[in-house]
Copies of this chain bind each other. A is one copy, B any other.
Amino acid sequence: MTFCRSAQAIAGLAVAATLLTAGVQAQPKPAVGHFTLANGLEVVVVPDRRAPVVTHMVWYKVGAADEPPGTSGIAHFLEHLMFKGTANNPAGRFSQAVAAVGGQENAFTSQDYTGYFQRVSRDNLKTLMEFEADRMTGLVLANEQVVPELKVVLEEQNQRVANNPRARLSEQIDAALYLNHPYGKPVIGWRHEIEKLNREDALAFYKRFYTPNNAVLVVAGDVTTDEIKTLAEATYGKVGKVAEIGPRRRPQEPAQVAPRRVTLADAQVQQPSLHRAYLVPSSATAKPGESEALEVLSFILGHGTTSRLYRNLVVERELAVSAGGWYNGTALDASQFGVYGSPKPGVTLEQLEGAIDAVIDDVVAKGITPDEVERAKNRLIADAIYAQDSQATMARWYGAALTTGSTVQKVQSWPDRIRAVTADSANAAAKAWLDKRRSVTGYLIKDSSPREEKRS
C-alpha cells in the first residue's frame, strides 16, 4: 500500500498520465473500450494481447483533498482498511486468493483518488472482479481490526515522513503553498489527526464515497471490451449505488500575492537542498494548451542532464551536485511546478538560489528556442511510446486521468496536444506562471542542535 505523499511523488505519473496512444499512431492496436454500467460505474478497457495477463484496477474519485476537516489521513487509512474483509470474504481471503494464483496486488492514495490494483493471469480475472466488487460496498469493520491498523499507518507515517527530511520539507512547502485549498494537507494526514482516526470516521467516509457511481474500473491486458462488459455486468453490475455523488468542489486558492520561504533543519540531512514550488494550473484547470506548454517548459528547464538547470548549475558553473525541475499536471485543482538543486560543498543555498533564479529569469526574459521545444516534444512523445510497454502504466494513465477531471479523449489526444506546443506558448506559460509571488522556496539544512518539538 503506497500513498502519494506530495506533488513530486506523483510527478512521474503526472508526466505519464497523459501520454498514451502516441503508439496507437505508430502501430495500430485494438481500440480502447469505454462504457458505463447502469449503476454508474465507468469502465475503461485497454487491450494488450502480448501475454495472457491482465491488470485490474478500481479507482475511486476520492482522495485526501476530499476529507472532512480535522480528519486528515482518513482516505489513506480507509485504503488500508479495505483489506479487512466483508461479510462474504473475511479478512485475508482476497489477498490470499491473489497470492495463490501468483498475482500481485497494491493500493494507493493521492489527493484526488484512491486505487486498488491487481495483476493476474487472465483466467483469474473474474474471481478478482467478484472480490473487488464485493468490497466496493460490503466492507465490514470491527474495532479489533481498525485499532491495530492505525498503528500500522502511524508507523508508515513515521518511516515515510517523520524520518524522511525531504518528505517533512515537502509537507511544509505544501502547507505554505496552499493558503486555502486542502492540497495543503499531507495525503497521509497530519500525525496528530491520524492518531484520532477511528472506525466511525472510516465507515462514514466509505459510505459517502465508495459507490459504483464514484468509481472507475480499468482493465488492461489480454481481454476484449466485450468480454469485460460481460464480466463487469456479472460482478460490479450487481453492486447498488449507496450514495449520490455531487460535483467535487474544494475550497480554491485566493490570488497569490506574496512569495513564501520555509527552512527545515533536520539532524538526518546529509546534503542541503533547495526546493521551490510554484502554484500553476493543472491539466484540468488550465486554459487550452497551457498545461501542455508547462509540460514542455518543465522538460526543457529541468528534465535530465541536458536541461537548462542541470547544464547551467552542475556542468557549467559547478555550483550544484544536482538540479532539475518538474511539473505535475494530473490534478483536479491548481497544481505545482517545481525546481530544485543541491549545492556543492562550499556553495551556500543562497548562492544556489541566486543561480537558479538567474536561469529562470533568463527563460522568462529571453524565452526558450524553437529547437529546444522540438527536442523536448520529440522526447516526451517517444517516452510515451516506450511507456506503453508496461500494461500497468497504461492502466494508471487512464485511471489517474478519469479521476482528476480528464477524459479518455484527452488521454488519447495527448501526443497531438504536445505537438501543438510552440516556443511562443511555452514562453507565455513561463511568463505567466513562473512568478515568485505564487511560490514557496524551501531550504533543507542539517540541524546540528536538535531541540524538542513543542506542542501548540
Q: Give A residues with C-beta under 8 Å from B.
A: 69-70, 72, 168-169, 172, 175-176, 179-180, 182, 184-185, 190-193, 249-265, 279, 281, 285, 334, 432-433, 435, 437-438, 442, 451, 453-456
Contact = CB atoms under 8 A, between A and B. Distances in A.
A453 B255 contact: yes
B180 A185 contact: yes
A258 B251 contact: no
A248 to B, nearest CB: 12
B260 A176 contact: yes
A182 B70 CA distance: 10
A402 B260 CA distance: 36
Given A180-B72, A180-B175, A180-B185, A264 B257 contact: yes
A260 B72 CA distance: 22
Given A72-B180, A179-B175, A456 B256 contact: yes
Nearest to A181: B456
Contact of A281 (B281, B451, B456): B456
A188 to B, nearest CB: 12
A182 B182 CA distance: 11
Contacts of A454: 255-256, 432-433, 435, 437-438
A193 B279 CA distance: 18
Mostly, the A contact residues are loop
A252 B253 CA distance: 21
Interface centre among A254, A259, A334, A432, by most chain B C-beta atoms within 10 angstroms, is A254
A281 B185 CA distance: 22
A111 to B, nearest CB: 15
B262 A258 contact: yes
8 contacts: A70-B250, A168-B257, A172-B257, A172-B260, A175-B180, A256-B456, A257-B264, A261-B261
A265 B172 CA distance: 23
Nearest to A169: B258
A175 B453 CA distance: 21
A260 B264 CA distance: 9
A190 to B, nearest CB: 4
A258 B440 CA distance: 13
Nearest to A438: B454
A69 B456 contact: no
Contact of A456 (B185, B252, B258): B252
Contact of A249 (B70, B264, B442): B70
B184 A190 contact: no
Contacts of A69: 69, 182, 250-251
Contacts of A191: 254-255
Query: Top 9 closest A-B pairs, CB basis?
Result: A261-B261, A70-B251, A175-B179, A190-B254, A258-B264, A334-B456, A253-B456, A172-B258, A255-B453
Contacts of A256: 454, 456
B263 A192 contact: no
Contact of A180 (B190, B263, B432, B438): B190
A218 B451 CA distance: 45
